[in-house]
Amino acid sequence: MSIQQLNIQAKTAVSLFLLFVITATISSVILLGLELSGKKRGLNIPTISQIKNQYTTPTLVAAMRGNMYEHVSADEDIDTVNAWIQEGAKKEGTLYEESSKIIKQDCTNCHSKSSKMTKAIPSMPFDTYEQVLSHTDAGYSWSKMSKQAHIHMFGISTFLVLISLLFAYTTYKETIKNVLIIGSFGGAFLDIFSWWFSKFVPELVYLIFIMGGLMVSSILLMSLLVLANIWKKQG
């Protein structure tokens, strides 16, 4: 049996599902690019340096270089905060005093339990040294990674298996089917795996870039090929 043998209603449902998947995939790429680049609009394909910043640098510094960049008074402030963290983020010394002033000036207007700002984030306060210290670890924390990984893996695997099953019943060559199905699942797994360990092995950011691109490309290509095949007239 091939998908070409489905009735018109089933073909329509499958086609609409795939259009949703294509739109969602492109939207996720746009969102990721905006978050990593700190920009407000446009399609921004993440660069290696932006990915490295996200997964291998201290959370506070990554935010100042990324989506919080517009709130930073000067680029030198980021270097100062990063230098303080690299020296151990101690509650003493000149770097601590300078970093405290920078964080108070650039961050606490929104990051405070008492903030009344429109875009305030009271759930992530920077009012005390201990609160700031919790955001100085390199990359994502294990708890945050666990939360994101299981959500992504459950979600991605669910629609990937649906797309793969649809693609498996197209009339394309077996080699093409095998490459794209394995590529999509393999890319997703290695991409998420690299999130965990890039903080220890920075070179893994290249794997994030390559495998993430492989996953997205495979999803989009399979979806488009199924759409083309499902409406193709049978010979």
Q: 145-188: per-residue pLDDT in tens?
A: 787 788 888 888 998 999 999 999 999 999 999 999 999 999 99
Collect all residues with Cβ–Cβ distance below 8 Å to 101 and sequence separation of at least 6: none
Instruction: Name the more confident of 172 and 118.
Output: 172
Average pLDDT, the chain: 86
Question: What is the pLDDT, as a whole number, of residue 88?
Answer: 87
Collect all residues with Cβ–Cβ distance below 8 Å to 165 and sequence separation of at least 6: none
| 23-37, 68-82, 130-144: the lowest-pLDDT one | 130-144
pLDDT surpasses 70 at 67: yes
What is the average per-residue pLDDT within 73-99?
A: 88
**Rounded percentage of the chain residues whose pLDDT exceeds 90:** 34
Closest CA to 80 of 59, 112, 57, 103: 103
Contact 120, 112 (CB under 8 A): yes
Longest dimension (CA), the chain: 78
What is the average per-residue pLDDT within 6-15?
A: 94
Contact 167, 180 (CB under 8 A): yes
Q: How far apart are CA 108 and CA 26, in angstroms?
A: 34
What token pair was written down for 2?
A: 């091939």
> Cα 80–82–84 angle (5° rounding)?
70
Winning range, highest mean pLDDT, from 47-61, 107-121, 133-147: 47-61
pLDDT surpasses 90 at 39: no
What is the average per-residue pLDDT within 75-86?
A: 88
pLDDT surpasses 70 at 98: yes
Task: Write b or e for each residue in 41-77: b if 16 or more Cβ atoms lie within 10 A of its Cβ, otherwise e.
Answer: eeebebeeebbbbbbbbbbbbbbbbbbbeebbeeeeb
Collect all residues with Cβ–Cβ distance below 8 Å to 61 and sequence separation of at least 6: 53, 78, 81, 82, 85
Question: What is the pLDDT, as a whole number, of residue 235?
Answer: 58
pTM summary value? 0.72
Read off the amino acid at residue 191.
D
| Residues 22-33 pLDDT 10s | 999 999 999 888
Q: Beta partners for 58?
A: 138
Look at the block and give the residue holding tokens 């990721």.
Answer: 32
pLDDT surpasses 90 at 92: no
> Cα 34–81–192 angle (5° rounding)?
40
Contact 78, 72 (CB under 8 A): yes
pLDDT surpasses 90 at 4: no
